[in-house]
Amino acid sequence: MTAGAKFAVGALLIVGSVGYLMASGIKQTGQYFLTPGELSRKIAVDPTFYNVGMKVGAHVVRGTVSKDVATQTLNFRISDGAATYPVTFHGLPPDTFNDSVEVVVEGRLKPDGVIYATNVLAKCGSRYEAVPKA
Amino acid sequence: MTVLGNLALWVALLLGVWAALVGFLGGSRGRADLQRSARHAVFAMCGALLIAVFAVEWALFHHDFNVEYVAAYTSRNLPIFYTWSALYAGQKGSLLFWATVLSVFGSLAQLFTARRHQVYLPYVASVVGTVTAFFVTVMLFAANPFSRLAYTPADGSGLNPQLQNPGMVFHPPMLYLGYISMTIPFAFAIAALASKKLDSDWLVAIRKWTLVSWLFLSIGLVLGMWWAYVELGWGGYWAWDPVENAALLPWLTMTAFLHSVMIQEKRGMLKKWNLALVIGSWLLSIMGTFITRSGVISSVHSFTESPVGYYFLFFLLFAAIASFTLYARRLPLLTAEARLESMVSREASFLFNNLLLVGVAFSVLWGTLFPILSELVQGTKVTVGPPFFNQVNIPLGLALLALTGIGPLIAWRRASLPNLQRQFALPVTAGVFTGLVLLLLGMRDFYALLAMAIGGFVLATVTQEFARGTRARRRQYGEPAAVALAHLVGRNRRRYGGYVVHTGIVVLFIAFAGMAFKTETEATLKPGQSASIRSPYGWTYSFTHLGISQFDQLNRQVTAATIEVRRNGKRAGLITTEKRQHVDALGRPTFQPSTEPGIRSDPLEDLYLVLGGVVNGTEEAVFRFTINPLVWWVWYGGLIVVLGGLIVMWPGGGSPAVKRTQAGYAVRLVEEGK
């Protein structure tokens, strides 16, 4: 085998493993990113969407935020106009969280209709334009 | 002043277009008068843009809140330091900053390019003119920093508190300098393609520029990590956020280029690949600006809110098609002068390094764009987060790290077995030894162990190289060790500076591996109560909440909690962590409260304390206590990388071409200088 052919084998090996790592990575860690409206439509046709880890992007419904600092529990409702879901979250919410922001909620919708969030990301709508973050 | 600013922008636009046209014509027709005119147009454009920057700063410092940009990003009580930096706090100002810096770099390239590379300069002026004209166009038609409001607010909205941090004053310009300076190598690459002068000369002309932009990007990335760590309060420094990825992508491809360029210089191979890397890196840097500025990734919908996104998308497509068309037409001129002779050679290891770097870049690009792609293809958005990037990039990164040690030890062309034994015996032993010791000490994370073992191997290769070089000089010239080492580095800056960079990269990897052992706990504490956490080194830390204090400071109201730290029962100092509520000049709250983590850093581990909130009206508070092992080394690893980069590009080292032709002459000068 010439050096060129050997190199081609090595290159294929690298390209192949990059491809494999990417494909398996997406399969194992990819999460649906839905709006509440999309989620309610999916749930209606396919109940297996309960208990699946996903991200839901929506705005917080004004006046629905209740915060118990002592137990670190945060309850609020999110909506995109088409559907509304209650969310419950344990932990420290981000600085920018309040009842008028866009949020991305990471968690699972349980059959009781509540999204149990493991993470809440907030985007401050009015003044936080895509600021270079890193 | 806004009239002056607008006028300056229009003048800059006309000059940019003029430089673009005349530079190209002057180059292709060989007309000296047109070439001179293009060169002067670049200088004048730079002057006009500097006037525009002056006009913005004037408006910022005079609190001219009738100017929308001033009202949107500053306020009367904003510290001066940040008022100045508001130039690049928002989109419109950043565009002006971009265009201005590019014109400055463009002028420097016109002034300081060696005479034998001057054939390229008219085309370089043309490319710089085109890109600058694009940015000025976006400003004039979509995002004018000088646009005025219909009324004059009494005060501005102020600067986002998260940007009121020293890291944010320096991080964006560093990153931008990195992005922007990439345009110069790109311009030289296009010039080489357009003029058909495709010998390795153009490579020499751009090597320093690529290093400059690589160095700025490196500094920008590390500063960004530092800012995220000390300001955002989530306890880490890298989250694989699209904006972070956007900066990492051109860094990866440029790193690949800085390696493969050596193969072209030594062996005349990889010409097509190198040109593609330069063009690709530049496109990625424009894409980085586009992603940070348009918000396209966070939501496809926010894209349509500002027309700026469309301008960038159009420009990106135009630039990609134009440059790759030109590239494709010149392919016949880019044949390799040599072939790969052996798999076990420096060339082959550099090729694998390039494939891995580009593979990492591709997976990061894919993961970053995946939400958009999946939405376009499937109709449902699927996102991937840090688990994806870690899963893919940790193995690839470790393979790259190993090559960092392997590459420099293998001979060019073809390595022999005795050569391999001589080079690898010691480093491999060192690597295995490192891994075993850590295993015995109780470290059980597979990737972390692997990273440390490979790190030990690479550090041993670097030490071996320095030791052998120094010994050889001592024997040959009889110099004392320190002098021999200094001369060794001074005479071969590229090689030994490169080793220093590699050392920095190893330190960074070891620091990244430390994060595998991050531990944290959350607790609600009344004054006097405490929480405890066990550190990965086996110590038990206890954190006692001493109380809350509230006070006013500059433009904010501060709520601070003081924590007493004890390690294994012994007092280890106090740490305070704050919640800050920024206020306007009348004392009314602006923005959301921001968190100021309390950090105590040492080489082994960081204590990272965050005040989550205070239970209404009492001193009871919620805390998050985090122990981050080895974070200290991230900043010093970054510093070593930058130092290495500076050694490589320090002037006077001479380019290889100069060395070849003037070697004898240079030696004589050195002798006479003694």
Share of chain B above pLDDT 70, in %: 95
| Residue with more model confidence, A48 or B271 | B271
- In A, residues 99-128, which contact B (CB 8 Å cutoff)? 123-124, 127-128
pLDDT at B244 over 60: yes
Segment B123-144 shows an average pLDDT of 94
Q: Does A5 touch chain B (CB under 8 A)?
A: no
Q: Token digits for B360? A: 């990492």
Do B86 and B74 form a contact (C-beta atoms < 8 A)?
yes
pLDDT at B471 over 70: yes
Q: Which residues of chain B are within 8 Å of residue A3 when distances are taken between CB atoms?
A: 339-343, 348
Of A103, A116, A68, nearest to B613 by C-alpha is: A68
pLDDT in tens, B592-644: 778 889 999 999 999 999 998 888 778 889 899 999 999 999 999 999 999 99
Q: Does B612 touch chain A (CB under 8 A)?
A: yes
Segment B184-202 shows an average pLDDT of 88
Kindly report the nearest CA distance between residue B39 and chain A, in angstroms: 33
| Residue B95 sits in the same domain as residue B5 | yes
| Residue B502 sits in the same domain as residue B531 | no
Mean confidence (pLDDT) of chain B: 88
B373: confidence class by pLDDT, cuts 50, 70, 90: confident
Cβ separation A32–B381 shorter than 8 A = yes
Burial B234-246 (b: 16+ CB within 10 A, else e): bbbbbbbbbbbbb
Helix axes B91-112, B32-61, angle to 10 degrees: 140
Of B644, B642, B606, nearest to B625 by C-alpha is: B606
Q: What is the full DSSP assignment across B424-455?
A: HHHHHHHHHHHHHHHHHTT---HHHHHHHHHH
Q: B613: which strand partners?
A: B622
Residue B537 is part of a domain; what is its CATH number? Answer: 2.60.98
pLDDT of residue B527: 93
Give the distance, in angstroms, between the CA of residue A99 and the centroid of all CA atoms in the same chain.
19
Q: How far apart are CA B466 and CA B496, in angstroms?
A: 8
| Residue B544 sits in the same domain as residue B465 | no
Residue spans of alpha helices (H) in B527-631:
none
Q: Which residues of chain A are within 8 Å of residue B396 when distances are taken between CB atoms?
A: 17-18, 21
Burial of B669 (0-12, 13-18, 19+ CB in 10 A): exposed
Do B41 and B26 form a contact (C-beta atoms < 8 A)?
no
| Residue B506 sits in the same domain as residue B522 | no
Domain termination site, one of B110, B139, B164? B164
Q: Which residues of chain B are within 8 Å of residue A34 when distances are taken between CB atoms?
A: 380-381
pLDDT of residue B298: 56
Helix axes B242-267, B271-294, angle to 10 degrees: 160
With H, G, I as helix, E, B as strand and everything else as coil, classify residue A73.
strand
| Residue B4 sits in the same domain as residue B116 | yes
Do B203 and B134 form a contact (C-beta atoms < 8 A)?
no
- Residue B537, phi then psi, degrees to nearest 5: -85, 0
Q: How far apart are CA A25 and CA B385, in angstroms?
A: 10
B422 falls within a domain? yes
Residue B29 is part of a domain; what is its CATH number? Answer: 1.20.120
Give the distance, in angstroms, between the CA of residue B483 and the centroid of all CA atoms in the same chain.
34
- In A, residues 55-74, which contact B (CB 8 Å cutoff)? 55, 57, 69-72
Q: Which residues of chain A are within 8 Å of residue B351 when distances are taken between CB atoms?
A: 7, 11
pLDDT of residue B665: 39
Rg over CA atoms, chain A: 21
Parent domain of B146: 1-164
Sheet with B570-582, side-by-side order of all strands: B530-534, B540-553, B556-567, B570-582, B594-596
Q: What is the ipTM of this complex?
A: 0.81
Do B156 and B69 form a contact (C-beta atoms < 8 A)?
no
pLDDT of residue B294: 65
| Residue B67 sits in the same domain as residue B84 | yes
Q: How far apart are CA B228 and CA B222, in angstroms?
A: 10
Q: A9, A15, A18, A67: best mutation site toward chain B, by most B Cβ within 10 Å?
A: A18
What angle is formed at CA B237 by the lines to CA B233 and CA B239, rounded to 5 degrees?
A: 95
Among candidates A32, A123, A134 on the partner chain, residue whose Cβ is nearest the Cβ of B244:
A134
Q: Token digits for A37? A: 């409206």
Instruction: Work out the widest C-alpha separation in chain A, in whole angstroms.
Output: 72
pLDDT of residue B654: 47
Cβ separation A69–B616 shorter than 8 A = yes
Q: How far apart are CA B414 and CA B353, in angstroms?
A: 17
Kindly report the nearest CA distance between residue A33 and chain B, in angstroms: 5
Tally of domains in chain B: 3
Q: Where are the domains of chain A?
A: 1-30, 31-123
Do B498 and B648 form a contact (C-beta atoms < 8 A)?
yes
| Residue B49 sits in the same domain as residue B71 | yes
Torsion of CA B287, B279, A22, B397, to 10 degrees: -100
Q: Which residues of chain B are within 8 Å of residue A96 when distances are taken between CB atoms?
A: 592
Share of chain B above pLDDT 90, in %: 54
| Residue B512 sits in the same domain as residue B568 | no
Q: How far apart are CA A45 and CA B282, in angstroms?
A: 46
B249: confidence class by pLDDT, cuts 50, 70, 90: very high
Q: How far apart are CA B44 and CA B649, in angstroms?
A: 29
Q: How far apart are CA B613 and CA A84, in angstroms?
A: 28
- Searching chain B, which residue's CA lies closest to the CA of residue A18? B359
pLDDT at B671 over 60: no
Task: List Cβ neighbours of B84 (8 Å cut-off, separation of 6 or more).
Answer: B57, B60, B61
Eight-state DSSP code of residue B589: B
B310 falls within a domain? no
- Searching chain B, which residue's CA lies closest to the CA of residue A25? B388
pLDDT in tens, B61-90: 999 999 989 998 888 888 888 888 888 888
Q: How far apart are CA B441 and CA B666, in angstroms?
A: 53
Specify the pairing of strand A53-60 against strand A31-34: parallel
pLDDT of residue B616: 76
Of B93, B11, B91, B86, nearest to B47 by C-alpha is: B11
Among candidates A21, A31, A92 on the partner chain, residue whose Cβ is nearest the Cβ of B382:
A31
**Among A81-85, B277-281, B496-500, which is the least confidently predicted range?**
A81-85
Cβ separation B396–A18 shorter than 8 A = yes
Asked: is A31-123 a CATH 3.40.50.2300 domain? The reply is no
| Residue B525 sits in the same domain as residue B426 | no
B349 falls within a domain? no
Q: How far apart are CA B510 and CA A74, in angstroms?
A: 37
Segment B527-550 shows an average pLDDT of 93
B299 falls within a domain? no
pLDDT at B662 over 60: no
Q: Which residues of chain A are within 8 Å of residue B596 when distances are taken between CB atoms?
A: none
Q: Write down the pTM of the prediction.
A: 0.89
Do A103 and A60 form a contact (C-beta atoms < 8 A)?
yes
| Residue B474 sits in the same domain as residue B416 | yes
B1 falls within a domain? yes
Do B197 and B190 form a contact (C-beta atoms < 8 A)?
no
Of B315, B314, B294, nearest to B305 by C-alpha is: B294
| Residue with more model confidence, B674 or A40 | A40
pLDDT at A29 over 80: yes
Q: B577: which strand partners?
A: B561
**Among A92-106, B242-256, B365-379, which is the least confidently predicted range?**
A92-106
- Searching chain B, which residue's CA lies closest to the CA of residue A101? B592
What angle is formed at CA B203 by the lines to CA B201 and CA B204, rounded to 5 degrees?
A: 70
Q: How far apart are CA B404 and CA B508, in angstroms?
A: 13
Q: How far apart are CA A40 and CA B330, in angstroms?
A: 55
B470 falls within a domain? yes
- In A, residues 13-42, which contact B (CB 8 Å cutoff)? 14-15, 17-18, 21-22, 24-26, 28-34, 38
Give the position of tokens 């995220």.
Answer: B228
Q: Does B611 touch chain A (CB under 8 A)?
A: no
| Residue B493 sits in the same domain as residue B600 | no
Q: What percent of chain B is helix, strand and coil (3-state, nearest 5)?
A: 65, 10, 20
Q: B608: which strand partners?
A: B599, B626
pLDDT of residue B669: 40
Q: How far apart are CA B98 and CA A37, in angstroms?
A: 40
| DSSP collapsed to 3 states, B105-137 | HHHHHHHHCCHHHHHHHHHHHHHHHHHHHHHHH
**Among B41-45, B391-395, B553-557, which is the least confidently predicted range?**
B553-557
Rg over CA atoms, chain B: 27
Cβ separation B233–A128 shorter than 8 A = no
B332 falls within a domain? no
Segment A72-100 shows an average pLDDT of 85
Among candidates A3, A17, A97 on the partner chain, residue whose Cβ is nearest the Cβ of B341:
A3
Q: What is the full DSSP assignment across B191-255?
A: HHHHHT--STHHHHHHHHHHHHHHHHHHHHHHHHHHHIIIII-SS-S----HHHHHHHHHHHHHH
Give the position of tokens 């469309």.
Answer: B310
pLDDT of residue A1: 67
Number of helical H runs and strand E runs in chain A = 2, 7
Kindly report the nearest CA distance between residue A10 and chain B, in angstroms: 8
pLDDT at A88 over 50: yes
Segment B345-374 shows an average pLDDT of 90
| Residue B490 sits in the same domain as residue B532 | no
Residue type at A22 in one-letter notation: M
